[in-house]
Amino acid sequence: MGVKVKGISQAQQEMNALIDDIQGRKAVRAIQSSLIIGSSQAALYTPIDTSTLMNSQYRELSLDGTRLTGRVGYSANYAVYVHDPNVPQTFRRATAQKLFLAKGFEDTRELINRTFKKEMSL
C-alpha cells in the first residue's frame, strides 16, 4: 500500500532557492569584507596633499552571470600618475608609497584569506 505525498518537488525547489540565497549573501559579504580590509590598508599608503586622492577612493561589486567581482579604485584623474612607480615624486606623508593600492592588498593578503574563509563558513 503506497501513500502519495504532494509538494515534494516544490519543497526541493524552495530548499534549493534558500541555499542559493544563503551562498549568494555569504559570497557578497566575504568579498565586501575583503575589499574593506584591502582598501583600508591602501588608504594608509595613499599620499595625502589635499586629500582629494584619498576621498576619491571607491569600492564596487559587480555580478556578471555567475561571476561576482569586487573592485577598488580611485576616481581622481591623477591617481594613475601618483600610483605609477616610474613617475618620481616625494611624499609628505611618512606612510605614503608608490603602488599604494597594490601594496595595500598584498600586505593584507593573509587577513583577507582568513576573513574570506570565515565569512563563507558561517
Q: Spell out the domain ranges in the chain.
A: 9-121
Question: Which residue did the predictor score with more confidence, 84 or 22?
Answer: 84
Q: Are 59 and 35 in contact (CB under 8 A)?
A: yes
Mean pLDDT of the chain: 88
Burial of 80 (0-12, 13-18, 19+ CB in 10 A): exposed
- pLDDT at residue 76, rounded to an integer: 93
Q: Which three cell numbers stand for residue 111?
A: 587577513
Strand ranges inside 2-95, DSSP E: 57-64, 67-74
Q: How many Å apart are CA 74 and CA 53, to the nearest integer?
A: 7
The whole-model pTM stands at 0.79
78 phi, psi to nearest 5 deg = -90, 5
Q: What is the pLDDT of residues 62-104, one digit of tens each?
A: 888 778 899 999 999 999 999 999 999 888 889 999 999 999 9
pLDDT at 122: 67
What is residue 1's predicted lDDT score, i.e. its pLDDT? 57
Residue 81 backbone phi and psi in degrees, to 5 = -75, -35
The reported pLDDT for the residue numbered 20 is: 74
